[in-house]
Structure formats: C-alpha cells, structure tokens
Structure 1
C-alpha cells in the first residue's frame, strides 16, 4: 500500500508537541511525513532527526515545498495567515487549536489584560496593527478540520459553536513509562515555565515557607522563570523553607531529554494551574478554552498530578486541592505510603494510553483527513 504523505508545520511555539507527533508518526506504516519548522523551533528540538525536517526562514517558502504532500497538519496557527490561506486552498488541512477564544470563537481583546501585559504592549500593537491578527485569525475557518488536545476543549467547541462536526480530539498522549520511585525523600516536580501568568506561583511561594511536612520533600521547578524577579524569589525560597524541604530550579529552557529525566524521578507532579489567563490579550480559561501541558506530562510519564479543583478532571487519576489552606495540608501530610495507594488507582487508565492504541487511533484520523 502506498503511503500517504503529510507535512507538519510549526513556525511558532509548540516544539514539544511536534516531537510528540514525530514519536507517533514514525511508527505509522501508512504515513510518510516531513516537518517544516522555524529556526526558533529547531533550536528547541532534540528528538526529530535533521533529515526529517526543513528549517523555514521565510513562511513564503513553504507553499512551493508542499507539492507532493497529500495533507498538512498545522501545529500552531497564530500568525502567517496569508501563507496558510493559500495552503488551505490547495491541501487537505488539520489545524491544532490551542486557544479557542482567540483561534475559533474569535473573541475580542479584553482591555483589562493590557495592564498586566504592559511590558509586551509594543509587541501586541505590532501584531494587531501591522500583522492584522484580529482579522487574519479568521483564516482558520477555511481549514478542513480542527484538532483539540483534550475532551474538555472538545466539549466546549460542541457547546459554543457549530464546528463540532469538523473538530477532532487528538490524543497524542500515551503512557511512555510508569513508576513510583522508592526514595525516602518525595520528589515533587512542577513542570513547565515558572510563570505567574499561567500558574498560581504566588500562592505556592507563600505556602512553601510555612510547610512542616511529615516527609522530606524535594521541589523541582522544571521550567524557565518568567522574569528575574521570579528567579530571585526562587533563590530566596531556599533560605526560607524548613530543613525538611529542598528546592531545585533552572535558569533557562530545558531540553527534552533533561525534562523527561527529571519527571521520571517524580513521585507527584505539582500543577497549580490558574483558572483564567489570556492569549494575545484575549481571555482564555484553562481546561475549557486552553489545555495545560501538565495533562500531557502526567499521562506520558505515568505520574499523578496535584491540580486545583477549578481545572476540569482529566481521564486520569489525579489529586485535587480546593484552596491554599487545602494545598498546604496535603503537602504537609504527604507520605510515600499514601502515594503508593493513589498510584494503584492509576492502573485502570494505563490500558487506555498504550502506545499502540494511541498510535493506531491517530493514524486512522490522519488517513481520514487525507481521504475526506
């Protein structure tokens, strides 16, 4: 059987997701693939071989390179709208949607977001005034299909729009490993950028110095601090916390191998996801219009996450906290024996996220795209 050829395009931010695509599609017997990436994305990729991708310095280069492809997957769609408009006219297309209010529901800018984002205001003015993203983002409606990365986002599409028929749940997360390390010190890892915009870092930083845990806890902030001020706070925490608490943090972007190695040693992933955030000054709600990468971190690494109750429950076993006091209590009373019991509750989910089952379903979705 002749393979179907699919181009994957990522010119913006989601390099880790692109690597997840690669790990799956390289094992699909009916799919041939190639990746088109920007220099910024290329600098963050470690898993994709160089002979499988082309670095795109000018988005206008892509169109002429797509002649032999049956379909195109756009991994992020936030800019370069004119180039994508031409591609959508010529090729079967699937666009992954990361911010539903911005990308699909086309909500307007909320003026209240301007002050918190004032340091980037010049950048946003360039996007809206020069690149015309407010009108250009409507180009996404010309794509054949949309993809979302969680069931809660698919539910939101179905409840708020008429695009449910062309929107698919893309399950790219499979359980790559599953283990509960046997150590005296519990390893708590917060994956992703240390950002007040996306996570409730302020509450977490207030709680840590108050903790008097039963068990030794090692907190690892596995992401780049969003500012020098946050970096300084991390340094100061090391001096403020109990002798039962150890803190490790990073200063810059962390390569995939290091990221995976640290999470593999974790007993619990700490996921203090904020309820509300914004993207390009448009309001977004985590778990409803925007998915957290912490979902993927939990499933791929076979780890339980500790989430706020405001974040919609995943098809996975996690722990949840109501408020700051509840979070403090959970961390103070955390023990290995307790976590061992919680990890037993993960077992029924593991069969749903085997590599083969996830890969086969995704392969069928890609073939449906080509043949639609």
Structure 2
C-alpha cells in the first residue's frame, strides 16, 4: 500500500510538540512526512533529522500538491496564507487556545496591564495584521484537534464545533522510573513565568519550608525577566538547609529538558486557573491545556497540581492553597512517593507507545478521505 504523505506546518512556537510528532511518526508504517518550519522554530529543534525538515519564511512557499494531508501545528497569525492551504488539501488544525481560536471571544481590557510588556506587539497584531477579524479563517480547516479530553469536553459543551473536533492524543509514556537518590528531586517544568504559573506563590512558599526530607528544586525553564531571575538567585541563600535550588538562564533544548525530568521524583505544576492569549481570557484545563500534562505522561512522573486544574487521566497529587502546598512539601517522603507511584500502573498500561501511535496513525489516514 502506498504511504500517505503528510506535511506539518509550524511557523510560530510549538517546537517541542513537533519533536513529539516526530517520535511517533517515524514508527508509522503507513505514512511519510515532512516538517515545514520557520527558521526561529528550526533553531529550537534537536531530535528531528535535517532531511525531514524544510525551512520556509512563509507558508506560501510550500507546495501542497505534494501531500495528501496537511497538519497545522499552530495557527495564530498570517491567516490569509493558511486559507489557501485549507482550500487545497484536507487539513487538521490544532487548537491551543479555544477562546481565541475557536469560540472567538473578545479582548478583556483588564489583560492590558497583565501583558503590558507585550503591548506594542499585540497592538501590531490587532491593528496591522487584524488577527481579531481574520482568526475565523480557521473555520475553513477540515478538522480541529485538541490535545486533552477536558478541552474536547468544553468544545462539546458549546455544541457549535463538536462535529469537526477530535482529540489528538499524542501523550505516551516514554519512560518510567523512580530515582534511587536519597534527595527528593522536584522539577517545575516550563518557563518560569507568572503569566501561566503561580510562580510568585511558589517563591513565597520555598523560603518558609522546614521539610523533614532533603528537597532539591529545579526550575526547568527560562525566567520570564530579570526580576524573576534575581528572585531565583536570592532563593539559593535564604532557604532551609534541607532545600537546594537549581535554575536556568536560557531556553532548554528538548533532549536536555527530558533528561532533567527523567531524574525527578515529582513534577511541581503550579498552573494558574486563568491566563490570557492575545488579551483574550483563557482557562487552563478548560480552554487551554498545560504542557505539564504531557511532561507527566511522557516521563512517567506524578505531578503536583492545584485542585483548580481539572483532573487529567493520570495519577497526580493536589494542593488547594499556599498552606496546602507548604504542608505537602514539608511532609513529603520517599516512602510516600513510592506508594503513590504504585498507583500509576493502570495508566502506564493505557499510555503505551504502540497504543498511542496506532490511534494517531488511524486518525491521520482517515483525514485523507475527509474531502
């Protein structure tokens, strides 16, 4: 049987998601594939071979006629270029921000102050590129894809786009281990940013801890600004003797990122319940998925989430407040964690590479018959 040819487009931001696509695609027997990426995206890729990548400045440079299916990994700008793609081939467009990209909610003016550092950039998008009016171009796509069941449930509750939306489950368990280190390694994955995580709360909690176990915290992401960086540096000198801190200054390549998480006993995920995208309100676990979900499943790790984040299909620990988080961290022990990891077994069996890969391959092949 002739292989189906699939093109993946990423001109904006989700380079780590492309790496995850590649690891699944390269084991599929019924598809051939190529990634079309902007140079700024290509600079962040580390595991995808060069012969699978074509660097382009604009989407219009690619020839859609060479492919059976197009997957748009991110779509937040340059909508007129994608309109031609949608008209030519069956397309699956991933939706990362439901309120902005699918429900077409209006700007919340209160977000101006929260995103004041990007004010000029956002004004350019709305006034010059007119992203507010043009974002409805996404409706021309054949199918919409969301990355978690909770987002799919939200789409179904609205009704309007349910028939065109499907769950694109890319999360599989790549590895699973409980480190033997006597020090409990706790990793906070992703950028150290108050926009998406309650970093301010965490920076307040850590100096107050008096843990019974030795805890090593790693902030596995680039600090959002110099102020946060300085606060991380300060933490190293004011925490209890049983608490040590490691942080980074830069973007972390995907392979190094995964290596650090593999050594963790616990992933700390202080995800905020509300954030925004292009000044439009978004809600984590409801209209926007946190990358921490993928970090937990891919690496076979238990996460520590706030109770405000909808429970994902995985075994995690939860805290309700700053006091609750303090209590969890102060009383944490390796014995407790070992007992919690035993509860992961049913999920490890569900999220095997083969099961996830086969389901995704069937979805991509089915898309070829959509038009």
Normalised by the length of structure 2, the TM-score is 0.99
Contact 1:105-1:161 within 8 A present in 2 as well? no
Q: Determine the structure 2 residue equivalent to 1:253.
A: 251
Tell me the residue number matched to 1:12.
Answer: 12
| Residue 337 of structure 2: aligned partner | 339
Query: Is residue 222–residue 249 contact of structure 1 (8 Å, CA) maintained in 2?
Result: yes
CA contact (8 A) 1:188 1:267 kept: yes
TM-superposed CA distance for 1:368, in Å, is 0.7
The superposition leaves residues 232-283 of structure 1 with CA deviations (integer Å, 9 ceiling, x where unpaired) of 0000011110010000000000011110110000000000000000000000
Counterpart Cα distance in 2 of 1:343 and 1:182: 13
1:57 matched residue in structure 2: 57
**Aligned counterparts of 1:201 and 1:231: Cα–Cα separation in 2:** 12
1:278: which partner in 2?
Answer: 276
Counterpart mapping for 1:191-270 below 5 A? 191-270=189-268
Partner Cα separation in structure 2 for residue 234 and residue 45 of structure 1: 27
- 1-side partners of 2:241 and 2:248: how far apart? 21
Match of 1:135 in 2: 133
Dislocated runs of 4+, deviation >3 Å: none
Identify unmatched segments of 5+ residues in structure 1: none
How much has 1:59 moved relative to structure 2? 2.9
Instruction: Give the drift of 1:182.
Output: 1.2
Q: Give the alignment's Cα RMSD to 1 decimal.
A: 0.6
Which secondary structure state, in structure 2, belongs to the residue aligned with residue 371 of structure 1? coil
Counterpart Cα distance in 1 of 2:355 and 2:172: 8
- Stretches of structure 2 lacking an aligned partner (at least 5 in a row): none
Tell me the number of residue pairs that the alignment of Structure 1 and Structure 2 aligns. Answer: 370
- After superposition, the C-alpha distances for 1:28-58 in whole angstroms (9 at most, x for unaligned) are 1000100000011000000111110100123
Match for residue 89 of structure 1?
Answer: 87
Contact 2:4 2:68 in 1 (8 A): yes
Partner of 1:153: 151
Q: CA deviation at 1:60?
A: 2.4
Within-5 A mapping of 1:347-366: 347-366=345-364
Indicate conservation of the 8 Å contact 2:207/2:240, yes or no: yes
CA distance in 2, matches of 1:7, 1:362: 15
Deviation at 1:166, TM superposition (A): 1.1
User: Residues 19 and 47 of structure 1 are in contact (CA less than 8 Å); yes or no, is this contact kept in structure 2?
Assistant: yes
Matched with 1:101 is 99
Contact 2:148 2:168 in 1 (8 A): yes
The answer (yes or no) to whether the contact 1:102–1:279 under 8 Å persists in 2 is: yes
The TM-score normalised by the length of structure 1 is 0.99
Matched, 1:163 2:161: yes
